[in-house]
Amino acid sequence: MANLRIRSLAALQCLALLLSSAIAAAAAAAAAKKTYIVHMNPHHMPSSFATHRDWYASSLQSLSSSSDASAAAADPLLYTYTAAFHGFAATLDSDEADALRSSASVLGVYEDTVYELHTTRTPAFLGISGDLGLWDPQEGPNGGKRRAFGDVIVGVLDTGVWPESKSFDDAGMPELPARWKGACESGPDFSAKSCNKKLIGARFFSKGFRMASGSSFLKNPKEVESPRDRDGHGTHTASTAAGSPVANASLLGYASGTARGMAEHARVAAYKVCWSSGCFGADILAGMDRAILDGVDVLSLSLGGGIAPYYRDTIAIGAFTAMERGIFVSCSAGNSGPAKESLANVAPWIMTVGAGTLDRDFPAYALLGNGKHYAGVSLYSGPGMGHNPVPVIYSKDSNISGQLCLPGSLDPALTRGKVVLCDRGVNARVEKGQVVRDAGGVGMILVNTAANGEELVADSHLIPAVAVGRKMGDVIREYVKSDRSPTAVLSFRGTVVNVRPSPVVAAFSSRGPNTVTQQILKPDVIGPGVNILAGWSEAAGPTGLESDTRKTLFNILSGTSMSCPHISGVAALLKSAHSNWSPSAIKSALMTTAYDLDNTRSPLRDAAGGTFSTPWAHGSGHVDPQKALSPGLVYDLKAEDYIAFLCSLDYTIDHVKTIVKRPNVTCSRKFSDPGELNYPSFSVVFNDKKVVRYTRELTNVGAAGSMYNVSVTGPSTVGVTVKPMKLIFPKVGDKMRYTVTFVSKKGTNPTTRSEFGSIVWSNAQNKVRSPVAYAWTKLVS
């Protein structure tokens, strides 16, 4: 009997071991699977399949040679794409991905990419009044034709939307456009009735996120799958682009006034593609695909990833189809400045937007024990420190983590009751304040390093905190290190306007040159992106930290994420005023009318070092909506021009088809140089050549009989000749060409890094300005 029990126990142990091994094997198999985006040739679909989805599902089923029940039960097909892309997203292991690549019907198989978010007074700063764009500026309100603002739809791909925000109030909005095919999707925390005549659509795309979250490298099972914004970023960007006017808006008393979007009469459609662990390419492509089919006029994406060829860039691929359908696509340039070659979203059919400051600030001060007064910024809104000096500490040089105020780096015994000096960088600025508070500190002075220069970004800290620039930071550090008993008192002064100089290019704004195509100058423009007030989610505190339990209807944020929706909203204004303009024409109008002088009439400056900015930082300049409404001339482009451009990049025809999505596309027409694209700016790369020659075509969108003369500025190292030097346009819509020849002069040092200039066509009414960047060496990719 005992032997029987022993054998039974052994059998049970063996069975348990087998089950454990099976579970482990199943988990390992699941972990080995990743999301892939598969580009198919739609014309290879056999006639036996009724839909492309049936064909894709069958293709995936044929891959499975495993008898594993759990694998068979899980549908690997995540999305099918029809507009932005021809193909699907699926969960595959590496062997299955390789098997698909060998199929003649498959043009490409790419592993999913994770993208990240690039995170009142702005309408006045930009010169936008309540009725800007309702009338053609050349005809005036009495002679112009009234435009239907409500017919313009801005699609925002982001973290979703907080529909209860007053920024989406639909009072006075007309009925929905008949062409709108969107929907208001429901979720556990989001009703299908949450949309209205202002917020006309809300969808969510989470299959790529869900797949990644179920694997070993990302875990977040608690995320609610719905269009609701629990981060705040999406509500902020959507309300910036096209929010309704809200009186008495502020962040805890800061920036008080009327908050409204750039195109306050336009509609908003929210597409949630970003989740707590990022924005997954499969979800982004699905969101773009749906937005195109829904009928948006403008797509705004305040997110981006690393640099890749256009045929591997999810956003570039989706944006190409959008452009073909007449949809303007605006994307953030990234927050990786001031490092060079740090741009994202550089495809020429995308509007790439950098960030600048406003003429509004939030001054705060640090009074040190030596009597010196140092100015900075802050959005702190709690109880003040009073007037009594408080000891200041700064971690020793051997404690770099402590100097950065990283989590767990501060000794509470040394920190309690003191103001802490924290270096900017590595972790979030607001997190540094939380670290100081958790260690018992009563205040923080946040000091810039060389990477941030004199750029000041205000934050709604949890404790009294003042941010100062690098120069002041260096002085304060030296004081704290050298004084036996250093002290400080922090004070806060609210909101001031009419700050000079402004705008200034933000130090964080990503910079050129363009590493994908050096002959295309990027970014295109800058817009307001520092300390921007807009709508917010009530599910998140103003800092976004879990410990921040404060609630606010509006928040102040900084980033190219904020500048992007400004340009998206302005593009909606232009689309409303000029419904027949192509996305390229709208882009040209915004670029050629942008300004490169600040409000002191000095060239734009760079916050990173205080020196003059260059087109690698500000592109064509800071957007000017009023002038963009009547640009005079535009550089227009069609899809065929972009195809010729793509063919000039030495891509295979399958690579071109991935982007263009036409079965019969050929490279019968191609440029000898990518810079031949009819772009509104110039990037001249001499490399081993002495002469570079480009021909451009201008279209008259101004008055009949317009005449323009050209003027050129540039470095002494380059000779520039423009022929002809005068252009006459007898009729509206007439097109005229000119050729510009750039000659690198003898004796020019080939190691010269870069120079800049401009080409301007002007008459009494308009200045059509194109920046020119010069380089003598080719970037090594």
Nearest to 263, CA basis, from 356, 126, 159, 138: 126
**pLDDT at res. 781:** 58
Largest CA distance in the chain: 111
Q: What is the pTM of this model?
A: 0.91
Q: What is the pLDDT of residues 553-565, one digit of tens each?
A: 999 999 999 999 9
Angle 115-119-123 from CA coordinates, rounded to 5°: 125
- Examine the residue annotation and report whether 233 is marked as an active-site residue of this protein: yes
**pLDDT at res. 749:** 72
**pLDDT at res. 120:** 45
3-state secondary structure of 365: strand
Contacts of residue 472, defined as CB under 8 A and 6 or more positions apart, other chains included, come to 374, 375, 376, 447
Cα–Cα distance for residue pair 319/342, rounded to 1 Å: 20
- Examine the residue annotation and report whether 169 is marked as an active-site residue of this protein: no
Peptide bond into 503 cis (omega under 30): yes
Q: Which residue among 233, 265, 461, 618 is the active-site one? A: 233
- Examine the residue annotation and report whether 561 is marked as an active-site residue of this protein: yes
**pLDDT at res. 75:** 85
Stretches in the chain below the pLDDT threshold 70: 1-31, 65-73, 120-150, 215-222, 750-752, 781
Please report the DSSP string for 650-666 in residue order: T--HHHHHHHH--TT--
Tokens of 136: 């053609």
**End-to-end CA gap in the chain:** 76
* Cα–Cα separations (whole angstroms), residue 420 to 365, 368, 382, 460, 471: 15, 13, 18, 17, 18
- The DSSP H or E segment spanning 175 is none
Q: What ranges make up the beta strands (E) of 33-158? A: 34-40, 77-81, 87-92, 106-111, 114-117, 153-158
CB count within 10 Å of CB 96 equals 19
Q: Which residue among 239, 342, 509, 561 is the active-site one? A: 561
Radius of gyration in angstroms for the set of CA atoms belonging to the chain, rounded to a whole number: 28
**pLDDT at res. 143:** 41
Using an 8 Å Cβ cutoff, are 204 and 291 in contact? no
**pLDDT at res. 137:** 42
